[in-house]
Amino acid sequence: MSKKNKHISRRKFLGQASCAAIGTSTLFSSLINLKALNAAAIDNSMLSSNYKAMVCLLLGGGNDSFNMLIPRGTSEYGQYAITRSNLAIPQNDILPISALNPDGQLYGVHPSMTNMQSLFSGGNLAFITNIGTLIEPTSKAQFQSGVHPLPLGLFSHSDQTQQWMTGRPHERSAIGWGGRIADLVQSMNTNENISLNISLSGTNVFQQGNGTIEYTISSEGALGILGYEPDGWIYDQLRTEALDNMMGAAYQDIYKKTYVNTIKNSQLATIEFNEAIENTSDLATEFSPSELSQQFRMVAKTMQAREDLGFCRQIFFINFDGWDHHDELTLAQEAMLTEVDNALGEFNNAMTELGLQNDVTTFTVSDFGRTLTSNGNGTDHAWGGNVLVMGGDVNGGDIYGQYPSLELNNPLEVGGGVLIPTLSADQYFSELGQWFGVSNSDLNTIFPNVANFSDLDSGAPIGFMNI
Amino acid sequence: MQNKVFTLSTTFLFLFYFSSYLTAQVYEDYIGGGHSQGIEVVTSNDFSPNDWDEVASGGQSINGSGLDARLFETARFLSQATLGANRDYIESVAEMDYEDWLDGQFQIPTTSMFQETDSAFNVALDLYVQNGGDPEDYFGPYLPHFYYGLWRHNLMNEDLLRQRVAHALSEILVISLQSELGDFGYGLASYWDILQENAFGNYEDLLMDVSLSPMMGRYLSHFNNPLEIPSLNIHPDENYAREIMQLFTIGLYELNIDGSQVLDMNDQAIPTYDNDDIKEFAQVFTGLGPGEIMENPWVSDPIFGLDFYLTIKSEPMAMYEEWHDQSSKQLLNGYVIPAGQDGLNDIQDAVNHLFNHPNVGPFLALRLIQNMVKSNPSPGYIERVALAFNDNGNGVRGDMKAVIKAVLLDEEARSCVWLNEAYHGKLRAPIYRYYQLARANELESDDELYWNVGYDFLLLTEQAPLAASSVFNFYSPDFQPNGDIASADLVAPEFQIHNSRTSIGFMNSIYVNNNWALLWDWEGGTDDTRINFSVLEPIARDPEALLNHMDVVYTNGQLTEETRTIIKEALEGIQQNNFGNQYTTFRVRMALYLIMVSPDYAILK
């Protein structure tokens, strides 16, 4: 692209619609790749072409994902059944899927995941297999050497969840990769009160940036100050009036002024957010009553209000907790996978309804995979596992990575049915970042270990996104 | 992990209609209470630093509460020196000389937090079994059991100063249960024991104990840290080497005794160390591994490289000489640790070397003052505390008692002339506000366990003991919130966790405390702890009297006329004719909520 074109495109771009504030950003050049910029300038419906959102679904506690994506070929299933013993899903119950680039093996998904099965067939869903936290590629011998760099606190919920959120398995960091991206991109949004990062699950490391934090909402909308009810019962009216007076007063003391201003601005954002949601039309897509479905519904409603709220880029976070199935794995996981399958299916329908199918990518993370072997009626903490990615820009219908042997004592198995991952979680995140429009140099800063696995400049590290 | 989730609903409000209270204490309204006609109590002219307690201000003469001046002063002192006090305690300390109170506090022996945690765990385990649970399924002790012990202790204890100092130290020498450390309740409690046992000891001993703590070793990765192995491209971990300098002792730049930076000829700050220094210190902290280990099927004796899980977390790490780098180490300012020393001697030398660096006094002074008194101390205040660190008067360096006295008895902490300085004061950190709410009120709980896990509070406010998001603590000593504070080139650390989420999160936490429960745990079948509002109901008949009480206990006489009027209007809207006989309860709840969220309380002047 010539310099002249770039200039014109940018001005044209700035003249349009709600993402115009982008022009005020000094980070402009590093924020959006030129391709996205150019496309935005050419397309008159700039908003829909320019808007991009990621939805991160954390399956908190450690999903037993080798019962989510299952080998169904005779020999592989046989091995699976031996290793998993009483936890194995009956072969006939597995829902078959056909990957585009088969490795010669047959796969299926958990019997509860009918929507995922059809989304996979329709090309809107992909799996990534045996992925996990890694600092460097790691062999069994290196793992056992005691001196090879390994992620801190392997098998620990808190450390491993944190590393899936930070992309920094070598250190204990409080800053998440969603937050780091927001630090770069936040100024693209015209809304200064409401963060690019929106959480349906409260405080989380993933969305904590150096200069940005997430904006927390619930499945009902923004929460704001409890008991702040101008139209509530008399007690809350009195409270509301007092709070309004406190927030409205002038303070000489700079600490008091700063204290009050933060509360005031936050509460104003609450009001603004809820009004924008109320102004949206009803979705035709129906969502189940489960809390997870309702959370995805609110994500869809927020996207619906994106123009009103001034959003070009958004990252959503939902933590669906409770996968730590040391006991009663089979029944509990089935119930929870059903909820996930329903919620994702419904959300996908809503994206189609809103015309955002290609602009929104939903992906799962989880603390770790679980041990392949049974502890009686459950499984314990392990390492590598399987994740899923959904959206119109996903190169779906495929399984990425090398599905591991589930035989015990195989070269990746380090005891108790723990598998060393063969893909780094940071490769996964970098590719999502590339799709979102973050430059490779920024991604190499955000994910300091990804260069140990992939040269981002030579293309997508895994290939599951249409970039 | 079991996490009790609460649902907010107006139905909780009805609990208050049906609760039966213990017999309310008869509250003696003080003379003149409620008749001040809104005359401000504290003015700059009413006080002189030397004889505050002997003079009743003009305002107080009018409202008849003349002796409140000493109460206000004492409440302020206790806001700095404790985790909160109720009115009775404020009154008792008001009759004492503060130095005598400090000396008395120094004498109170330490209660083992390990024991507190252990006993909470055993009670919880018994409850679990009584409720039909299989003891094999009960996990712990882990973070909730540590919190049960810590909270219960801090609601019943007498070692108020020790606990406050331990909390302050936990924000300097940071480990965090927001990591795998949360799984190890005995380890967390033992780390707390290190902090509180050394709170009135010597800072060098504290540094040594912390350096050998397996919890710190695991958190900052010098546990099982091997010497350099060139053939495997392994080099010593630099994590602890860096942080013991940057965060625990000397900081990034050379300091003058008053905390200002030493400048070179070009007016540039002078770094205290560089990356080569870190590598030398990293060699010092090699060879530490498990001290004692649990019984297990694999090994009978502790060995280097053994999994952390098997380590007994209450025992210091042990040195494994074959994994320790025995070469000489060039530390700072030409100091050399000779080759061939025992590993523990190396560490003792390195700790002693850092401890004797001239930065430590002003470094620690700033952090303790910021935690207890104010965000922006004058250079003179830092210097006076730093000098006390350098020499306690008997030639001893690092005596924490001398440092604590210097922090709390300094003219800048005590004199009220500072109240009118624009930059005097600080935002009370959320956890200290929470503690104060619990400690200032009478509590009710059927089983009298008074356990609290505080995890919801952590999620709402980003703060709980030993739960910082990283080794950099909840906030940085030099954090500058945007706006007036940054424009004035001042700092305000606690504002780093006062953001769009946590500012309202704290208010909502108070809302829950007010409407439902103050403290709760993650066990089944226990009773939550609630605030007993009935104690204050008698004076709630007169909103002014209620506010006078609040002004002593919470705002230390700093409740402004504007805020007082705002709260009073809300209280006066609650009448017997619209709220029935419970109207005084509703008034107490309203007053407590509004005071707790008011800027007059949140900012400690």
Residues of B in contact with A225 (CB under 8 A): 504, 507-508, 511
Model pLDDT, residue B66? 56
Which of B320, B499, B504, B511 to substitute to test the interface with A, most A CBs within 10 Å? B504
Q: Do B504 and A266 touch (CB under 8 A)?
A: yes
Decide if pLDDT at B345 tops 90.
yes
Q: Do B598 and A241 touch (CB under 8 A)?
A: no
CB neighbour class for A308 (10 Å; exposed up to 12, middle 13-18, buried from 19): middle
> Which residue, among B236, B219, B247, has the nearest Cα to B284 in the 3D structure?
B236
* Partner residue opposite B566 with nearest CB, options A224, A246, A267: A246
Residues of B in contact with A157 (CB under 8 A): 1, 180
Contacts of A358 (CB under 8 A, 6+ apart): A391, A392, A393
Alpha carbon distance B418, A278 (integer Å): 49
Contacts of B418 (CB under 8 A, 6+ apart): B412, B424
Other beta carbons less than 10 A from residue A183's beta carbon: 18
What's the mean pLDDT in A294-309?
96
Query: Would you mind telling me the total number of residues written for chain B in this entry?
Result: 605
What's the mean pLDDT in B197-212?
98
Q: How close is the nearest chain A Cα to the Cα of B159, in Å?
A: 31
Decide if pLDDT at B75 tops 80.
yes
Interchain CB contact of A162 with B (< 8 Å): yes
Structure confidence by residue, pLDDT tens digits, B131-165? 999 999 999 999 999 999 999 999 999 999 999 99
Decide if pLDDT at B483 tops 70.
yes
State the pLDDT confidence band at B546, using cuts at 50, 70 and 90. Answer: very high
Q: Percent of chain A, pLDDT > 70?
A: 90
CA distances (Å), origin A126, targets A198, A228, A388? 24, 44, 6
Asked which of A132-146, A447-461, B395-409 is least confident by mean pLDDT, the reply is A132-146
Q: Do B504 and A255 touch (CB under 8 A)?
A: no
Decide if pLDDT at A8 tops 90.
no
Q: CA of B462: which chain A residue's CA is closest? A: A203
Q: How close is the nearest chain B Cα to the Cα of A55, in Å?
A: 20
What's the mean pLDDT in A243-264?
95
Q: How close is the nearest chain B Cα to the Cα of A416, in Å?
A: 15
Q: CA of A232: which chain B residue's CA is closest? A: B10
Model pLDDT, residue B73? 96
Contacts of B369 (CB under 8 A, 6+ apart): B377, B381, B382, B385, B407, B413
> Which residue, among B42, B64, B6, B22, has the nearest Cα to B551 in the 3D structure?
B42
Decide if pLDDT at A66 tops 70.
yes
Residues of B in contact with A262 (CB under 8 A): 495, 498-500, 503
Model pLDDT, residue A262? 92
Average predicted confidence (pLDDT) for chain B = 89
Alpha carbon distance A371, A359 (integer Å): 36
Residues of A in contact with B177 (CB under 8 A): 158
What part of A 306-325 touches B (C-beta under 8 Å)? 321, 324
Interchain CB contact of A214 with B (< 8 Å): yes
Model pLDDT, residue A13? 31
Model pLDDT, residue B64? 44
Q: CA of B562: which chain A residue's CA is closest? A: A249
Which CB contacts under 8 angstroms, 24+ apart, belong to B348-351?
Answer: B348/B208, B349/B284, B350/B281, B350/B284, B350/B285, B351/B204, B351/B207, B351/B208, B351/B211, B351/B244
Alpha carbon distance A229, A274 (integer Å): 13
Decide if pLDDT at B510 tops 90.
yes
What residues form DSSP beta bridges with A315? A54, A197
Q: Do B566 and A216 touch (CB under 8 A)?
A: no
Residues of A in contact with B563 (CB under 8 A): 246, 249
Beta strands in B375-522 (DSSP E): 426-427, 443-444
Q: Where are the alpha helices (DSSP H) in A151-290?
A: 157-166, 177-185, 234-248, 254-278
Model pLDDT, residue A104? 84
What's the mean pLDDT in B470-482?
92
Model pLDDT, residue A100? 84
Alpha carbon distance B39, B50 (integer Å): 24
Interchain CB contact of A183 with B (< 8 Å): no
What part of A 400-459 touches B (C-beta under 8 Å)? none
Decide if pLDDT at B243 tops 80.
yes
Q: Percent of chain B, pLDDT > 90?
A: 82
Rg over alpha carbons for chain B, rounded to the nearest Å, is 26
Decide if pLDDT at A38 tops 70.
no
CA distances (Å), origin B273, targets A109, A193, B277? 56, 40, 6
Q: Do B603 and A246 touch (CB under 8 A)?
A: no
Model pLDDT, residue B87? 97
Q: Do B469 and A158 touch (CB under 8 A)?
A: no
Interchain CB contact of A259 with B (< 8 Å): yes
Residues of B in contact with A208 (CB under 8 A): 469
What's the mean pLDDT in A454-462?
97
State the pLDDT confidence band at A24, using cuts at 50, 70 and 90. Answer: very low
Other beta carbons less than 10 A from residue B69's beta carbon: 24
Please list, residue by residue across A262-287, b when 16 or more beta carbons sit within 10 angstroms of its beta carbon and e when fewer do: bbbbbbebbebbbebbeebeebebeb
Q: Do A145 and B221 touch (CB under 8 A)?
A: no
ipTM, 2 dp: 0.89
Q: How close is the nearest chain B Cα to the Cα of A237, in Å?
A: 9
Decide if pLDDT at A353 tops 50.
yes
Residues of B in contact with A226 (CB under 8 A): 8, 507-508, 511-512
Q: Which two tokens stand for residue A283?
A: 């979705």
Average predicted confidence (pLDDT) for chain A = 88
Decide if pLDDT at B19 tops 70.
no
Q: How close is the nearest chain A Cα to the Cα of B290, in Å?
A: 15
Q: Do B566 and A251 touch (CB under 8 A)?
A: no
Which of A251, A255, A325 to substitute to test the interface with B, most B CBs within 10 Å? A255
Do the Cβ atoms of B164 and B400 come closer than 8 Å? no
State the pLDDT confidence band at B282, using cuts at 50, 70 and 90. Answer: very high
Decide if pLDDT at A416 tops 90.
no
